[in-house]
């Protein structure tokens, strides 16, 4: 059995007095991939924010590489090897593509050359400023900037939302390469259920802040009853 790189036990978290996550537990193996599914507003994004230390943790624990990081500040979690691509992308609008990438860089497998090889589109736009890019190019830049920190676990919060199909295809191909070539562990929050399940090995479904269902991604993909109940979206076959 693979070694766990991330373990969450009985996590209760939210925003000040508002509790969003209720007794959430999960394990991500080293080199593993996990899809986090569920309807809007059930706590999927809050789970990623809790892992990054950006919401209030009331109780429970988060261990990363065997270390208890439950009370560790967010910037130290990033230094420890957690990488997060937020829904808002949060690129630097007045810096060039290349400046966005090099500002966050740390030594490792991912450098300016490997990022440009992964995302040829942003290589072509490397001298353009962040606010001169299309939405899809900004998302690629957000991916690249996070990869330049050379994380061990990548947290992706709805990375395909609002993007054109051709960009979705390019990003899903890039994510697959990150995992196969770079040995990346991945947690993916995504509304595109079929895409999320086809890209990951394990899956959980969150309902009302709790883990309501968990299985292998391929098993869930074939379980239309569970998909109808928890996600409310049929998968085209």
Give the model's pLDDT for residue 229: 86
Provide the mean pLDDT of the chain: 92
Give the model's pLDDT for residue 237: 42
DSSP for 165-185 reads: HHHHHHHHHHHHHHHHHH--E
Give the model's pLDDT for residue 209: 95
Enter the pTM of the model.
0.92
Give the model's pLDDT for residue 236: 46
Kindly give the parts of the chain with pLDDT less than 70. Answer: 1-2, 182, 233-237
How much of the chain is in helix, strand and coil states, percent to nearest 5?
40, 30, 35
Give the model's pLDDT for residue 156: 96
């Amino acid at each position: 059995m693979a070694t766990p790189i991330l373990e969450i036990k009985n996590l209760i978290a939210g925003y000040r007095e508002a509790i969003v996550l209720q007794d959430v537990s999960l394990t991500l193996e080293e080199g593993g991939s996990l899809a986090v599914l569920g309807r809007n507003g059930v706590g999927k994004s809050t789970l990623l924010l809790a892992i990054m230390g950006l919401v209030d943790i009331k109780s429970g624990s988060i261990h990363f590489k065997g270390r208890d990081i439950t009370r560790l500040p967010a910037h130290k979690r990033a230094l420890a090897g957690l990488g997060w691509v937020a829904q808002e992308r949060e690129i630097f609008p007045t810096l060039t593509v290349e400046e966005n990438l090099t500002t966050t860089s740390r030594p490792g497998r991912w450098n300016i050359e490997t990022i440009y090889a992964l995302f040829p589109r942003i290589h072509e736009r490397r001298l353009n400023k962040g606010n001169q890019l299309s939405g899809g190019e900004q998302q690629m830049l957000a991916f690249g900037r996070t990869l330049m920190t050379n994380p061990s676990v990548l947290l992706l919060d709805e990375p395909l939302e609002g993007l054109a199909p051709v960009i979705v295809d390019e990003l899903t191909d890039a994510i697959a390469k990150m995992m196969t070539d770079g040995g990346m562990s991945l947690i993916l929050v995504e509304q595109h259920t079929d895409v999320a399940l086809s890209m990951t090995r394990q899956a959980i479904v969150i309902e009302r802040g709790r883990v309501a269902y968990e299985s292998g991604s391929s098993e869930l993909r074939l379980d239309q009853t569970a998909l109808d109940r928890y996600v409310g979206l049929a998968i085209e076959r």
